[in-house]
Amino acid sequence: MIKNVEELEDLLAKPSEADVEAMSRLGGDLMILGVGGKMGPTLAMRARRAMDLAGSRGRVFGVARFSDLDTRDRLAAAGVECLQADLLDRAQVEALPECEFVIHAAGRKFGSATDPALTWAMNVLVPAIVCERFHSSRIVAFSSGNVYPFTRYGAAEGDNAIPVGEYAWTGLGRERMFEYHARVQQTPVVLLRLNYAQDLRYGVLLEIGTKVFERKPVDVTMGAVNAIWQGDANSVALRAFPLAASPAAVLNLAGPETLGVRAVAKAFGRHFGVTPEFVGEEAADSLLNDAGKCHRLFGYPSVTPDQMIEWLSRWIGMGAPTHSKPTGFMTRDGRF
């Protein structure tokens, strides 16, 4: 049982043997842009620990505005060198140190419907600024499975990107900026189309489980989802640098299972001793990724959906803290 946030973050930041091996081969410094987000802090901590275990002298830089000073302090205590910068400010980005390896984890989703201009700036303009500054670096960039259309079986990397809604179009715009600079500047890039990361404080499984625990109806219109443990997603990001290429490479990053929303709710119901209530009817298609290529390259995730549901059932039941940032996974019109 994971008893508190400290134990959760320690688990998320614990590198695998594969992470340590990857960091031993990196041979340079690593910079994480947007380190203050949901995934960034434990990604940076995992990288720092992996480098230490590998005996690497590489530095790990974490870049963010750091409006949350506690995040900055935790990262600094873990050996991450924190750099404060607004990625929309070209001068501030230009002032960042040279770094051979860059993970782009910056972006905006929530609030896109109320301020679409800011979402376009964060998701499209910032990647252009980053690529201009780090044109000589190797870049792993988080993208989103939202660039795909709804499917019945899961979209693969070779499928056409047909975004639904303005946020999803900014996700495709982000990819186009990286693709353009990868082609023009010969910057090696790999785009990770993530769908959906999960820890105990946020994610699609938390949202379903909370509905069941609170005896609220679960909407099953979006009939199925993908979910991957955040630690496993971050592990792939650290190991993905050899895939970066020009033209830019694309890799789906998701759990191998297609999880039925109704089945997940019933699994939580068994843990809570509750019979879930449902509203809606399953649509013929959902937002799903086929991440088979990722699993062939990096292996299956270390944490299964059943394990995540068990951990989440205990976490929800004891009233542990969450980020209060819903994924909007049930949204079918693309408005977030």
Give the model confidence (pLDDT) of 127-146 as tens digits.
999 999 999 999 999 999 99
Give residue 250's identity as a one-letter amino acid code: V
What pLDDT digit, counting tens, does each position of 151-185 carry?
999 999 999 999 999 999 999 999 999 999 999 99
What pLDDT digit, counting tens, does each position of 261-270 carry?
999 999 999 9
Please return the burial class of 8, using the count of CB atoms within 10 Å of its CB with bins 0-12, 13-18 and 19+: buried
Please give the pLDDT value at position 327: 87
The Cα-based distances of 308 to 49, 135, 203 in angstroms read 24, 38, 11
List beta partners, residue 228.
197
Average pLDDT over residues 290-305: 97
Average pLDDT over residues 22-44: 96
Please give the pLDDT value at position 1: 84
Q: Is 111 helix (H, G, I), strand (E, B) or coil?
A: coil
- Which residues in 65-205 belong to E strands, given as ranges? 81-84, 101-104, 138-144, 189-194, 197-198
> What is the distance between the terminal CA atoms of the chain, rounded to a whole angstrom?
33
Cis check: omega of the bond before 163, within 30 degrees of 0: no
Q: Band the pLDDT of 277: cuts 50, 70, 90.
A: very high
Q: Is 75 helix (H, G, I), strand (E, B) or coil?
A: helix
| Alpha-carbon dihedral sign for residues 1, 201, 82, 48 | positive
Please give the pLDDT value at position 244: 98
Q: In whole angstroms, what is the distance from residue 39 CA to residue 198 CA?
A: 9
Average pLDDT over residues 85-112: 93
DSSP 145-161: GGGSPPBSS-B-TTSPP
Q: Is 228 helix (H, G, I), strand (E, B) or coil?
A: strand
- The model's pTM is 0.96
Domain limits, the chain? 5-197+230-255+290-301
Q: Band the pLDDT of 334: cuts 50, 70, 90.
A: confident
Could you please state the CATH topology (level 3) that the domain comprising 5-197+230-255+290-301 is classified under.
Answer: Rossmann fold (3.40.50)
Q: Is pLDDT above 90 for 112?
A: no
Give residue 197's identity as a one-letter amino acid code: A
Tokens 């609220």 belong to 216
In the chain, the percentage of residues whose pLDDT exceeds 90 is 93
Please give the pLDDT value at position 85: 98
Average pLDDT over residues 71-77: 96
Q: Which two tokens stand for residue 29?
A: 């410094």
Please give the pLDDT value at position 88: 97
Given a contact cutoff of 8 angstroms between Cβ atoms, the answer to whether 181 and 135 are in contact is yes
What pLDDT digit, counting tens, does each position of 195-236 carry?
999 999 999 999 999 999 999 999 999 999 999 999 999 999
In Å, how far from its chain's centre is CA 225?
15
Q: In whole angstroms, what is the distance from residue 249 CA to residue 313 CA?
A: 37
Average pLDDT over residues 313-327: 93
